[in-house]
Structure 1
Amino acid sequence: MPDGNGDLQGFGPASADTQDGVALRILATTDLHMKLLPHDYLSGNPCDRGSLAQAASLIERHRRSAPNVLLVDNGDFLQGTPLGEQAVLNTRHDHPAITAMNLMGYDAAAIGNHDFAFGIDLLQSVARQARFPLLAANLQVRGKPDFLKYVILNRRLRSDRGKPIDLRIGVIGFLPPQTTAWDSDLGRRMACDDILLTARRLVPEIRAQGADLVIALAHSGISHRPWTPGAENVAVELALVDGIDAIVAGHTHEVFPGSGMASAPGIDAIAGTLEGKPAVMPGFGGSHLGVIDLWLERGPWQEWRVAGALARCEVVTSLDVPVAPAIVKAVAPTHRKTVSRLNTPIARSGRRISSHFALAGVDPVSALVNMAQRWHVRKSLRGTTFEGVPVLSAAAPFRAGGRSGPLHYTDVGPGRLSQANLADIYPFPNRICALALSGAELRAWLERSASLFNRIVPGQADQMLADPRFPAYQFDVIQGLCWQVDLSQPAAFRMDGTATGASRIRNALWRGRPLADDDLFVLATNSYRLASHGLFSTLVASRQCVLPPGPRTPEVIRNYLRRRRRIDIDAAPSWLFVPMPGTTVILQTSPAGLSLLPDIAGDSGLRIEDAGRTEDGFAQVRLHL
């Protein structure tokens, strides 16, 4: 199969003796991000990239073909599309995701970091609606009951000979320890422990309580890097914990097993194993269904043991899998309200607003966000000691390709701007805030952003511009400054925020003069940048927050647009690459962005040209440095 088909030797009965064996099929979804229907709320059109409603039909097929099925989800199901925002506005009714999952008969689900996007109170309310347990083993809630850490499901299964077999199945869930660091509001209300240390403590407890089998739902990625305390992506190390039999991974939106992930020590991307144990990571947004087939036999002490396994991910598309009518019907009321709300007009734009060439310096999306943030912060600082201090603003493109594929770009045409366009421009419920920073600290901010680029060798042709491991949402552009990026130098920071000692930022200017280290500014940004973990964490730590997290940024942008009524965004870049004669780089973008090439060249002076396509559908453009 193109997405990987695991194969462990010994699956099925090993011999025709008198002992009964049991075949158990584990079906898994992960990172649904409120993709309940095959509908693109940003364009208003149907889409064929998967959904929960289609996965439900595929799941029913499996239930008809396999005698023993367990259905689990691995978190991040409450946030991600405008449907999730609409669900929050209708708290008098059950959440549509939970309603759908109840109908589908989920047995258990882990909680992911994005499930806290609308607050812990909403999540706890949603958990009460679920007819299946929501699990978070490494989470402690302050002042309120914790979520369940694990559950032991008592299931009567059928053996290969048709006999009833009672099995006790332990299911434990984990979420990234950084969840509380990424949102300072959450950090005051709960704490997250290390995944691996929690597993080593609790899995023996689950076994001691009589579990015959333990499945780990790890909202955590698959990484070849060695474990360190508090690590984010530890699915491989989790497989080494004695007592865990199978793993469902997630969080990083990858497909495992599959051709898109490389094998490494302990990681078999073809067989679908981590340290020899079966594992799946079924993409995101209902794109795939993870399937783990386990063959269980009695051991020498009559204990159940895994004698064989198969792991695979099955593609979910509208061409192959129809929607389940019951799920469509359950979600329909919230869907209709979402579509109606998204059609609400806000303002008008005189130009196309897209993120196709954000990494080349042409980024009207971030420019609009920065305009709105500066407007709000200036207004909010009136009458304070910081009134009159120059206000700058930092923003990054959220939808700029990467792992989410060539369709994952913001692209809003000229004319009417609707609520749907706003969701395209700013899809996350971050809150606006502002910091007091010096010129030296602003330069360090830019150095972190510029670490997204690969080091480029002068004089060589067609080198890849961006490091694919570095997400575009970390690429902040500061409105109010001008600067250059020297790609011949190494990145100044690694993705975890540790410094390398290098420097790339050159000729940083404010109002036409060199940026001085002791200049004082107010920087408008968002609450995610206040995280105590990650690329910007050491820079924002202990810095004065002159405007604590307030309204959600999409609300600020909407209010700004309504006040302006019409906008014309200047597409001229505020930053450029230091010239490197005889050198070209390749930037990946969406094929839809190629029509912009003449305008990009005219507005920015960049020499840029079409350079073909990649196998996974990206357009490649050649940028002459």
Structure 2
Amino acid sequence: MFIWFMIFFYIVMPSSWHLTVFAGDDASVINIKIMQTTDMHGNILDYKYQSAEKTVDFGLVRTASLIKKIREEYENTLLFDTGDILEGNALGEYAYRSRFFNLGRVHPVIKAMNYLNYDGATVGNHEFNYGLNFLMQSLQGAAFPFVNANIYIDDHNTNPIDDINLLPPYIIQDKEWTDESGVKQKLKIGIIGFVTPIVAEWDKEYFRDKLIVKNISETARHYVPLMKEEGADIIVALAHVGMDADKGLQEKEGNSVSDLSQVSGIDAILYGHTHSVYPSRPGLNLVNTSRPAIVQAGYWGNHLGIIDLKLVNKNGKWKVEKSTSSIQTIYRTIKNKKIPVTGRDTELEKLMMKDHLNVKKFSEIK
């Protein structure tokens, strides 16, 4: 009966009539896949410089294959890193001691990240181990933005209004992505960065009378509304801090991922610093019933963090309807033996080979 009624309705209704379609009935839906690396510590290749041997345990050269595969399968993707990239192995030390940027060259780690077309990154505490000048010169070679909202230049006054950030506190990127109906949609993605305040204690010589570090959550509460005012449809936080605050930190409240997740307006938190994975194992998908989604991708490129966001546009505004956190590993363990689950990115391997050979020579001289 209903079918005949609808046929009659469409045949006899005047051409001047129209049907009202509610936003909830045809709302645009976009699925986004956000990828994360963290705590690489110079480990671009799957190589142990101390023992001079190949490994399947780590290496961005293997993570890169996972990244490329996801980009082939999904159209709407983002790729970020959450810090501790410049220091930690022989490659990092070689780059520091050779002062390559004086010759107009790009830091080897930054070069690898440029190759992979990162959308953004933040700095970790170990970025400051070689001093502020080395850090800033290294970042100049990046073809992608570095953001940090809670490190400020010490102006030696008590007025917070005129404080100046060391790096851009956030950026808003314009993206054109395809929705489930195949229609191109324009979105604004807000990206903000943070680092654990304990960095000021661990690298006192570079921070004292030069830089100050503010509370992470308080800083987020200041900037997130500004990002919304500038039109950010979703906000991604890149946080180099643990789920819990560092044990040696005097002011623990507000300086953890747990606290940051309580800040209204953040849709996803990618974090690093503690060299662990969250969710706790590959294959475990955490469906988030309340925002934000959270992920941590281990260290040295041994895992790739992934956050899936389902965005729905209702009444002209994009909202996260569903989010899922997961990780992918570059190896699996069978009978106490690590078996690679992904191959090397041979193009990245070739790109890094000259630096790799120089590092081996440098290590032998040492």
Say whether residues 1:146 and 2:181 are aligned partners: no
Instruction: Kindly state the Cα deviation for residue 225 of structure 1 after the two structures are TM-superposed.
Output: 10
Q: 1:181 to 1:232 in 2, by over 3 A?
A: farther
- Please state how far the C-alpha of 1:326 moved relative to its aligned partner: 2.2
Which of 132, 135, 158 lines up with 2:178 in the alignment?
A: 158
Question: What per-residue deviation string (whole Å, max 9, x for no partner) do you get for residues 205-260 of structure 1?
Answer: 11111000000001011129999845585101111111000110110011000159
Q: Find the counterpart in structure 1 of residue 217 from structure 2.
A: 196
Specify the SS of the correspondent of 1:330: helix
1:174–1:55: structure 2 CA closer, same or farther, 3 Å change rule?
same
Partner of residue 330, structure 2: 316
Give, in whole Å, the separation in 2 of the partners of 1:165 and 1:332: 40
Distance in 1 between the 2:303 and 2:323 partners? 19
TM-score normalized by the length of structure 1: 0.49
Deviation of the 1:302 alpha carbon: 2.0
RMSD: 2.4
**8 A contact 2:176–2:184 mirrored in 1:** yes
Give the whole-Å Cα distance in 2 for the aligned partners of 1:87 and 1:274.
Answer: 44
* Residue of structure 2 in register with 1:25 after alignment: 33
Aligned to 2:134: 122
Per-residue Cα deviation, 1:83-113 (whole angstroms, up to 9, x for no partner)? 0011121332210111110110000001100
Residue of structure 2 in register with 1:297 after alignment: 312
What's the counterpart of residue 327 of structure 1?
A: 348
Give yes or no for the alignment of 1:45 onto 2:60.
Answer: no
Indicate whether 1:67 and 2:75 are aligned.
Answer: yes
CA distance in 1, matches of 2:246, 2:87: 29
Residue in 2 aligned with 1:84?
A: 92
The equivalent position to 1:181 in structure 2, one of 201, 218, 234, is 201
Amino acid at match of 2:317: E
The CA distance in 1 between the partners of 2:287 and 2:182, in whole Å, is 29
Checking the alignment, whether the CA contact within 8 Å between 1:54 and 1:322 is kept in structure 2 is: yes
Aligned 8 A contact 1:289 1:315 in 2: yes
Report the secondary structure of 1:291's partner residue. Answer: strand
Identity rate, percent = 32
Deviation at 1:277, TM superposition (A): 2.4
Hey, what does 1:167 align to over in structure 2?
A: 187
User: Cα offset for 1:327?
Assistant: 1.4
1:323–1:259 distance in 2 versus 1, CA, 3 Å:
closer
Q: In structure 1, what residue type is equivalent to 2:262? A: L
Distance (Å, rounded) in 1 between the aligned partners of 2:289 and 2:54: 36
Per the alignment, residue 229 of structure 2 pairs with: 208
The corresponding residue for 2:258 is: 236
The residue that corresponds to 1:218 in the other structure is: 239
Superposed, 1:473-512 pairs within 5 Å as none
Contiguous gaps of at least 5 residues in structure 1? 1-14, 261-268, 345-418, 420-625
Matching residue within 249, 257, 264 for 2:279: 257
SS at match of 2:143: coil
CA distance in 2, matches of 1:70, 1:270: 19
1:270 offset after TM fit, Å? Answer: 6.2
Q: Are residues 18 and 276 of structure 1, via their aligned partners in 2, closer, same or farther at CA, if it must alter by over 3 Å? A: closer
CA contact (8 A) 2:287 2:322 kept: no
Aligned residue for 2:342, secondary structure, equals: coil
Structure 2: gaps of 5 or more residues: 1-22, 156-163, 332-338
8 Å CA contact 2:278–2:327 kept in 1: the answer is: yes
Question: Which whole-Å deviations, capped at 9, do the CAs of 1:564-600 have from their partners, x for residues lacking one?
Answer: xxxxxxxxxxxxxxxxxxxxxxxxxxxxxxxxxxxxx
Q: Paired residue for 2:146, among 117, 134, 140?
A: 134
Flag the 1:225–1:175 CA change in 2: closer, same or farther, 3 A: closer
Deviation at 1:343, TM superposition (A): 2.1
The alpha carbon displacement at 1:273 in A equals 4.9
Q: CA 1:59/1:235 → structure 2, altered by over 3 Å: closer, same or farther?
A: same
Q: TM-score normalised to the size of structure 2?
A: 0.83
**Higher relative contact order, structure no. (Cα contacts within 8 Å, ≥ 6 residues apart):** 2
Instruction: Describe the SS at the equivalent of 1:155.
Output: strand
Structure 1 counterpart of 2:125, one-letter code: N
Aligned to 2:118: 106
Q: Work out the CA distance in 1 between the residues paired with 2:45 and 2:225.
A: 40
**Out of 240, 246, 250, which is 2:268 matched to?**
246
